[in-house]
Amino acid sequence: MKKSIKVIVIAINHDSGHVFTTAVEATDDEYGNGKHFHVAVARAAEAGFVSPLIAVEADDLVRLAVEIKAAVAQRNAAH
């Protein structure tokens, strides 16, 4: 049985953040494999969002903070 998971995708471009939200239907196995994140990122890309794209479940604010911190650190290390 599939369940609906709300996913947000954050794009950081030129020091400006953009947010894309989508609901993804996934089985327990797909959820366990993170397929809902892959689907959400693909949808964001189709809508014109560009890398880096950070996908997290809408209610997982701790993971969101960690992912944003990692993306900013990577960007700063590249400069």
Domain span holding position 73: 3-78
More confident: 5 or 61: 5
- Average confidence (pLDDT) over 10-37: 88
Task: Quote the pLDDT of residue 29.
Answer: 96
Beta bridge partners of 9: 20, 55
Q: How far is CA 54 from CA 2, 8, 61, in A?
A: 23, 8, 12
- The structure tokens listed for 74 are 């990577």
pTM for the whole structure:
0.77
Q: pLDDT, tens digit, for every residue of 25-64?
A: 999 999 999 999 999 999 999 988 888 888 999 888 888 7
**Number of domains the chain is built from:** 1
